[in-house]
Amino acid sequence: MGKKTKKRDNNESDGGDEEGCGLASQASNNSAHGEVGNQALSLSDIQKLLTGMEERIIGSLTAQITSNHHAAIIRHDETIQPIETSMNDFQGRITTVESTLADIVQENKQLKLKVDDLENRSRRCTKLLAN
């Protein structure tokens, strides 16, 4: 068991967790000095080490995921902004076309009435001339 703890101590020293390194060193020293009666304490130390490693990994992954999400949001924002600008331009143009169409429809109605009136007058004049 002392060798496994010592191996974890070497691995932990790469991670930079000073508290974890101290606990692993203490567990290693206890095993080297023949204090086998403290196995529950050794397991507790290992659990503390694993908990610390787990927290560091979770923190690292959370930071990486947050960074990736932030970068994706920035990319999407850069894509969406020109689309929104174009959409607003098209919306303004559509409003102008709708307004112009309404004016043309109104003018068309007036012209139809005027043509109808002129046709009726023409028929009346033709009847008067024919008689």
Sequence-ordered strand ranges (E) for 66-114: none
Given a cut of 50, whether residue 32 has pLDDT beyond it is no
**CA of 57: how far to CAs of 85, 104, 122, in Å?**
42, 69, 94
pLDDT digits (tens, 9 = 90+) for 79-116: 999 999 999 999 999 999 999 999 999 999 999 999 99
Per-domain boundaries in the chain = 2-130
Token readout for 130 is 């024919």
Token readout for 6 is 């010592």
Q: What percent of the chain has pLDDT over 70?
A: 68
The span from the CA of 7 to the CA of 41, in Å, is 18
Q: Is 6 exposed, middle or buried (0-12, 13-18, 19+ CB in 10 A)?
A: middle
**Owner of token pair 């490693």:** 53
Token readout for 96 is 């102008």
Q: What percent of the chain has pLDDT over 90?
A: 57
Counting every residue written for the chain, the total comes to 131
pLDDT of res. 38: 52
> Which is more confident, 44 or 18?
44
**CA of 131: how far to CAs of 73, 124, 127, in Å?**
85, 11, 6
- CA-wise closest residue to 48 among 81, 88, 78, 8: 8
Phi, psi (rounded to 5 degrees) for 35? -90, 70
Please report which confidence band the pLDDT of residue 124 belongs to, taking 50, 70 and 90 as the band edges.
confident
